[in-house]
Structure formats: C-alpha cells, structure tokens
Amino acid sequence: MLAGPAPELPRKLGLLDAIGVVIGIMIGSGIFLVPNVVAQNLPSATAILAVWTAAGCLSILGALAYAELGAMMPATGGQYVYLREAYGPMWAFLCGWAFLIVVQSGSMATLAAAFSIYLGHFVTLETWQARLAGVLLIAVLTAINYRGVVGGARVQNLFMFLKVGGLLILIAAAFLAPSPGAASPPPEVDWSHFGVAMIACLWTYKGWQTLSFVVGEVENPERNVPLALTLGVGAVMAIYLLANIAYLYAMPVGEIAGTPRVGAAVAERSMGSYGASFISLAILISITGATNGGVMANPRLYFAQASDGLLFAALAKVHPRFRTPHVALLASGAWSSILVLSGSYQKLFSYVIFTAWIFYGMTVAGVIVLRRRRPSAPRPYRMWGYPWTAAIFIAVSAWFVVNTMVTTPGPSVAGLLLVTAGLPAYGFWNRRRARRPLGRPVG
C-alpha cells in the first residue's frame, strides 16, 4: 500500500513545551559522570571550564542553524525534512534509517538500561527484572504520549523542572560544604587530550536537535522554535558550567579524575548519608525526562518518512481521537524495548552513534545549500553570524567524525556499513512509493 498525502498533526506545543523538549532531552545522566572523563584529560580547572564552554558554544551554533531551518520549514520530522529538501530523498532516508535502527532507538534503550541501574539503589533487581523495568519505563511513557502530545508535554515539563531543581540543589550543597582548598595547576593544554574531552562534553550536550522532530506541532514555530532552541541550549550550558564549578569547588581536579561517579561523590560529601539516595533519585528523574522526550519526538521522524512513502504506510497514520502518530509511537517503543531485552543495543549504539554527526553536519550545511538554491524562500529567522558560524559547526562535525574513525576504526567501519545497508532498503521503498512529489510543500 502506497502512502497518501501526509496528514496534519495539531499544533499544541507552546514555547515552554518546546523548551521542555530541548532541556529535558539534553540533560540526562552525563553531567553526573562525564566530568570524570574530562578531568582525566585536562589537569586544570581553567581548561575544564574552557572545554565545557566550547562544547556549549558549538551546540548553540548548531541550534541556530536548526532554528533557521525550523522556522523556514515548520514541518513534522524536522531533520529528515531539512535533509530531503537540501539533498534529496536518499540522504533523508539514510538519516531516518540510522536513527530508527540504532541511533535514536539505541539512545532510548541506553537510557532505559541506566534507569534500571539507578533504580537498583532502592530495589534489588535481578538481570531480567532490570531489563523488564527498562521496558516498563518505555511502555508507560509511550502510553502517555499515545493519548496526546499535550499529556506528553506536561510530563516533559514536570521532569524538566524536577531535574533542573535537583541539579541546583546539588550545586548549592556543593558550595555550602567545606572546600578542600586544593590549588589547581596552571593550564597546560594538550590539544589531543582537549579533543577527547571535547567529544565527551558533546555527548553530554546532545539532544537539542531532537526538537526539530516535533516542529510540526509547535505553535507559532517561526517565533517559538528559534527561541526554544537558543534559550534551551543556553540554559543547559549555564547549568553545566555551574555544576562543573561546584564540582571543582568541592573536589580537586585530580580527585575528580579518579572518581567515576563525580555527582554521587559530591552529593555524599555535601549531604552525608542522604547523598547517595539523593543523587540516585536525581538521575532517575533526569533519565525519565530524557526518555519521555525521545518517546515523544522520535516517532515524528518515522512518521514523516512514512508520509513520503519511504517506510510502512501505517507509520504515517494519525489517531482519529488523540491526533498522534500512534502506530509510529508503538513501533518506536516496541523496537527500543526489543533492544533493551536483547542487550545488543550497547554494541550497536557504540558502532553507529558517531554517524549521527555526519547528518548533523550535513543538516547545518543544508542552511548554506538552501540559501543558494532557494534564496527567496521565507526565512522568519536567519542564523546569526552566517556563514562563519555554520562553517565552524561543519568543520567541528567533520573533525569529530574523522577523529572517531582514526581512533576507533573497527567500530567506525562497522557503523558506516550499518548505515550504508540502508541503501538497498531505500531502493526497495523508492520503487514502492507512489509517483508524487515528496511530502507537502514547505518553506
């Protein structure tokens, strides 16, 4: 059965809801763990704060590009649509293929598994029980989002405020506790180590681009999408810098480098016996919010792809009562749950996640392509600092991909093979789809 014209999803997400998606997905468990990796590579507080600032600024540059594209083409599916309009359906399909098979689904499986780990602080779980807990988390959040985007947004906003509140409590407690007063050594920047730390920070900042998937349901997208991206990423950057300053106040750099769970160590030092429970609860809240954001946003990309006739037509269906892409929601939740139960997501995820940066770089380059190809298209928001800001993001994305391929060639090749395996799938779906223009006119 060939897909018909893409159905409409109602615009019910306000500015706060869009900000909730950005912040809620970006802040997961990374800020509690990644500072250890950064401190292992950068021996001074100045260099540590510099790399977190650099990664945040880069994320803001990417957000500015997505803001221009989102305001220009406020369609459901976001990044898929931008790639389709800039480069054609094949590249858009490969992005959707990689995100469906591993990138976004594997990310949700990873979050669900981490949820089970930290739930183990409060309840003893066998291996099968831990996996079941992860599946139940995905199932409950899928059920909430199935019944309407407004309900999913309310959950997202609630957990956004809870996770930000928890981080601010941890930061305040760290500053109120006695400082060891150990002096930080002078900055000595080894650029190869700075690069490793930068990669770690970029993993922690990831998630802002997911807002593009739900742009088609954001009210007044020409205004709210740029605002949500810039305010959301800016707020996360400020919180991350505050958290790292608090960590550095509470612990010397060398001790942070030797402490795998920095957030937990700071909580135990500043809150005593309640610290471990507090940080476990904070991380559970943070993971739940990030998972809900994925459950809400990811199916919209598959919905857009199916609307173009490049996936099963059922994935483009809209629930007659709840006005959600209900089949895509169920399929996304089911596949992520299968990855959780199989335990295979970790290897697959590590193989292919770096390829997401190929598509991020291509999407930002799409701003340049579309400025030249469609110069008269309405652009309610234009990327600040263009073309230099776009060029910086593209260059860093290229460095990120090349560096990953050089340092981990085996998994990188496996990841690229997994993505290029989508070419035969594209050929299959391309032959099946109806002879009609792709999607709806946008922009």
Q: In a 10 Å sphere around its CB, with 0-12 CB exposed, 13-18 middle and 19+ buried, how is residue 342 labelled?
A: exposed
> Locate tokens 């109120």: which residue?
176
In the prediction, which pLDDT does 188 show?
63
pLDDT band per the 50, 70, 90 thresholds, residue 102: confident
Torsion over CA of 188, 191, 192 and 197, rounded to 10 degrees? 80
Q: Is residue 6 part of a domain?
A: no
Q: Is residue 5 part of a domain?
A: no
Number of domains in the chain: 1
Which position has the higher pLDDT, 97 or 343?
Answer: 97
Angle between helices 45-72 and 356-373 (to 10 degrees): 50
In the prediction, which pLDDT does 181 show?
59
Q: What are the E-state strand segments in 349-403?
A: none
* Phi, psi for residue 218 in degrees, rounded to 5: -90, 130
Give residue-wise pLDDT tens across range 296-330. 999 999 999 999 999 999 999 999 999 999 999 99
Local structure of residue 207 (DSSP, 8 states): T
Which residue range(s) make up the domain with 190? 15-432
Question: Any idea what the CATH number is for the domain that residue 72 is in?
Answer: 1.20.1740.10
Q: Is residue 3 part of a domain?
A: no
Local structure of residue 187 (DSSP, 8 states): P
In the prediction, which pLDDT does 441 show?
41
Q: Is residue 300 part of a domain?
A: yes
Q: Please give the mean pLDDT across all residues of the chain.
A: 89
Rounded distance, CA 36 to CA 39, Å?
5
Q: Is residue 24 part of a domain?
A: yes
Q: Is residue 122 part of a domain?
A: yes
Q: Is residue 7 part of a domain?
A: no
| Token pair for 318 | 């809209």
For residue 434, is pLDDT > 80?
A: no
Give residue-wise pLDDT tens across range 205-254. 989 999 999 999 999 999 999 999 999 999 999 999 999 999 999 999 98
Local structure of residue 273 (DSSP, 8 states): G
| Token pair for 307 | 């609307």
Q: Is residue 182 part of a domain?
A: yes
> pTM, whole model, 2 decimals?
0.90
In the prediction, which pLDDT does 186 show?
57
Rounded distance, CA 289 to CA 151, Å?
13
Give residue-wise pLDDT tens across range 354-378. 888 899 999 999 999 999 999 999 9
In the prediction, which pLDDT does 442 show?
46
pLDDT band per the 50, 70, 90 thresholds, residue 410: confident
